[in-house]
A and B are shown apart, each in its own frame.
Chain A
Amino acid sequence: MDKTSFYQEMLRYELGRIVGADRIVTDEAEIEAQSLDVWWVTRFWKFTDFDFPKPWAIVFPENTGEVSEIVKFCNEHRVPVIPRGGGAGDSGGTSPVTGGIVVDLKRMDRIVQINERSLTARVQAGIIQKHLEEQLNRRGYTMNHFPASFTTSTLGGFISTNGTGVLSSKYGKMIDMVHQLEVVLPDGAVFKSLPVRLHSTGPDYSRLFFGAEGTLGIVTEALCKIYPLPEKRIFWGFLLPNLACGIEAGRRIMVSGLCPCLMRLYDEKDTRHIMKQQFGIEDEGCVMLIGFDGVTGIVDAQKAAADLILRDAGARDLGEGPGRNWWEGRYKSYYPPNDYIAYPWMTAVTDTVAPYENIERIYREMKRAVEEGFKQWDAEFHAHFSHWYDWGTCFYPTFLLKRFPDDERQALALYNEILDAAVTASLENGGVVNEHHGIGLKCSRMMRRIYGERYDLALSIKRALDKNNIMNPGKLGLGD
Chain B
Amino acid sequence: MGIADIRQTIASCKHCFMCRHACPTFLATKLDSHTPRGYALLLAEIDAGKADWSDSIVDRFYQCSQCGLCREDCAYHWPEDELVRNAREEIVAAGRAPGRVREIARAFIERGHPENGGPSLPETGAAGKPNAGVLYYAGWSTRAYQPTVMAAVGAIMTKLGADWTTMQDETDTGLSLFELGFTKEAAKQAEALRDTIASMNPRRIVTGCPHSLWAFRELYGRLGVTMPAGVEVLHIAEFLAEKIEEGALKPSGRPDLGRVAYHDPCRLGRSLGVFDAPRALIGAIGGARPIELFHSGAAAECCGAGSVMFLSDPEVSLKVARRRLAGAVEEGVDTLVTACPNCKEMLGRAAAGTDAKIAVIDVAEMTARCL
- Do A and B pair up? The answer is yes
Chain A interfacial positions (CB closer than 8 Å to B): 1-2, 25, 27-30, 32-36, 38, 43, 47, 60, 86-88, 104, 106-107, 128, 130-131, 134, 138, 149, 151-152, 329, 331-332, 334-339, 341-342
Q: Is the beta-carbon distance between A334 and B18 smaller than 8 angstroms? A: yes
B15 and A336 contacting across the interface, CB-CB below 8 Å? yes
B30 close to A32 (CB less than 8 A): no
Contact A152 B56 (CB under 8 A): no
Interface residues of chain A: helix, strand, loop or mixed (majority): loop
Q: Which of B32-40, B186-194, B233-241 contacts A (4 or more CB under 8 A)?
A: B32-40
Do A2 and B54 touch (CB < 8 A)?
A: yes
A222 to chain B, nearest CB (A): 19
Instruction: Tell me whether chain B's interface is mostly helix, strand or loop, or mixed.
Output: helix
Which residues of chain B have a CB within 8 Å of any CB of chain A? Answer: 11-22, 30-33, 35, 37-39, 41-42, 44-45, 48, 51, 54-57, 59-60, 74-76, 78, 294
Having A27-B54, A335-B75, one finds 8 other A-B pairs with CB under 8 Å, namely: A1-B54, A28-B51, A32-B57, A149-B17, A152-B21, A334-B18, A335-B74, A342-B16
B76 surroundings in chain A (CB, below 8 A) = 335-338
Give the shortest distance, in Å, between B307 (CB) and chain A (any CB): 18
Question: How close is B284's CB to chain A, nearest CB, in angstroms?
Answer: 29
Distance of B360 from chain A, by nearest CB (Å): 23
Residues of A within 8 A of B16 (CB): 334-336, 339, 341-342
Complex CA distance for A341 and B48, rounded to whole angstroms: 19
Contact, CB under 8 Å: B37 / A33: yes
A130: which of B21, B44, B45, B75 is its contact (CB, 8 Å)?
Answer: B21
Docked CA distance A27–B42 (Å): 13
Q: Which of A27, A34, A43, A106 contacts B15 (CB 8 A)?
A: A43
Pair B59/A29 contact, Cβ less than 8 Å: yes
Q: Are B75 and A339 in contact (CB-based, < 8 A)?
A: no
User: Which residue of A2, A335, A342 has the most chain B CB atoms within 10 A of its CB atom?
Assistant: A335
CA distance A43 to B14 in the complex (A): 10
Cα distance, A22 to B350, chains bound together (Å): 20
Docked complex Cα distance between A381 and B363 (Å): 59
Question: What's the least CB distance linking A280 to chain B, in Å?
Answer: 19
A32 touching B41 by the CB < 8 A rule? yes
Whether the Cβ atoms of B21 and A131 lie closer than 8 Å is yes
User: Quick check: B31 and A25 within 8 Å, CB to CB?
Assistant: yes
Known: A27-B56, A336-B78. A331 touches B21 (CB 8 A): no
Known contacts A2-B56, A28-B57, A335 near B18 by CB under 8 Å: yes
Q: Which residues of A contact B60 (CB under 8 A)?
A: 29-30, 33
- Contact indicator A2/B37 (Cβ below 8 Å): no
Q: How far is the CB of A50 from chain B (nearest CB, A)?
A: 12
CB neighbours (8 Å) of B39 from chain A are: 33
Least Cβ–Cβ distance between A412 and chain B, in angstroms: 18
Q: Are B75 and A33 in contact (CB under 8 A)?
A: no
Q: Which residues of A contact B38 (CB under 8 A)?
A: 29-30, 32-34
Q: A35-B41, A60-B30 are in contact. Are A29 and B54 (CB under 8 A)?
A: yes
On whether the beta carbons of B41 and A33 are closer than 8 Å, the reply is yes
From B11, B32, B78, contact of A34 by CB (8 A): B32
Q: Which residues of B contact A331 (CB under 8 A)?
A: 18, 75
In the bound complex, CA of A130 to CA of B20 (Å): 11
Among A128, A130, A151, chain B packs the most CB atoms within 10 A around the CB of A151
Q: Which of the listed residues B19, B39, B44, B56 has the most CB atoms from chain A within 10 Å of its own CB? A: B56
Question: Smallest distance from the beta carbon of B345 to chain A beta carbons, Å?
Answer: 24
What are 25 pairs between A and B in contact, CB < 8 Å?
A2-B54, A28-B51, A29-B54, A29-B56, A29-B59, A29-B60, A30-B32, A30-B56, A32-B33, A32-B57, A33-B31, A33-B33, A36-B41, A43-B15, A60-B30, A86-B17, A87-B32, A88-B17, A329-B75, A332-B75, A336-B11, A336-B16, A337-B12, A339-B15, A341-B15
Contact A47 B44 (CB under 8 A): yes
Contacts of A36 in B (CB 8 A): 14-15, 41
- CB pair A104–B54 under 8 Å, yes or no, is no
Instruction: Report yes or no: A151 in contact with B54, Cβ–Cβ below 8 A.
Output: no
User: When chains A and B are docked, how far (Å) is the Cα of A276 from the Cα of B360?
Assistant: 52
